[in-house]
Amino acid sequence: MQHTEQNAEFVRYTTWFVYACIIYSIIGFSWGAVMGGVPAFRHFVDYSAHGRLITLAHGHINLLGWVEMAIFAALYYVVPRLSNRPIYSLKLVKVHFWMHNFGLLGMVTFFLAAGLVGGLSESEDVEKVVSHLLAFVGIFGTLVLTANIIWGFNLYKTTVSKVKPE
């Protein structure tokens, strides 16, 4: 791939991090408004047995969604300029973007499902069902963690490498 094509693709992915930030912020802020503004939902979240899991889903969409995506975009923009080097690996930028988004959406989905199932269930085995859903939160959370390690590695290598691996 030529340098200009690669640079254009890097700019596109960095911009996608910005767009993801915007989308997650709208989702997170709207979710918070509904949780705070709809009395029945607020009561469910505050007083049902597993309502806190819905709050955790909301917190993760905000922190790992809009906040982290903004930080990723900013540092993908800044670090190559500060180090006066191109990004170490465009492939790792792509893997980071998709892995982080897939992991985050999985985490949020299973936190929400566990909160709803746990809050609405009248079964005595609800903890067993919720624990299975939370196991998936852990699996998807591991994807997010791995994506963040890839991001950190890529930025570190950008600052110290003179030759790109691609």
Range of the domain at 47: 3-160
Q: Residue 122's pLDDT band (boundaries 50, 70, 90)?
A: confident
Q: Give 83-104 pLDDT, tens digit per residue.
A: 999 999 999 999 999 999 999 9
Phi, psi of 111 (to 5 degrees): -60, -45
135-157 burial, b at 16+ Cβ within 10 Å, e below that, comes to ebbeebbebbeebbebbeebbeb
Residue 166 inside a domain? The answer is: no
Residue 11 inside a domain? The answer is: yes
In the chain, the number of structural domains is 1
Residue 10 inside a domain? The answer is: yes
Residue 165 inside a domain? The answer is: no
Residue 12 inside a domain? The answer is: yes
Q: pTM of the predicted model, to two decimals?
A: 0.91
Tell me, what's the pLDDT at 163?
60
Q: Residue 49's pLDDT band (boundaries 50, 70, 90)?
A: confident
User: Are the C-beta atoms of 116 and 32 separated by less than 8 Å?
Assistant: no
As a whole number of angstroms, the distance between CA 36 and CA 149 comes to 34
As a whole number of angstroms, the distance between CA 30 and CA 38 comes to 12
What does the pLDDT average to over 125-136?
Answer: 91
What does the pLDDT average to over 138-163?
Answer: 95
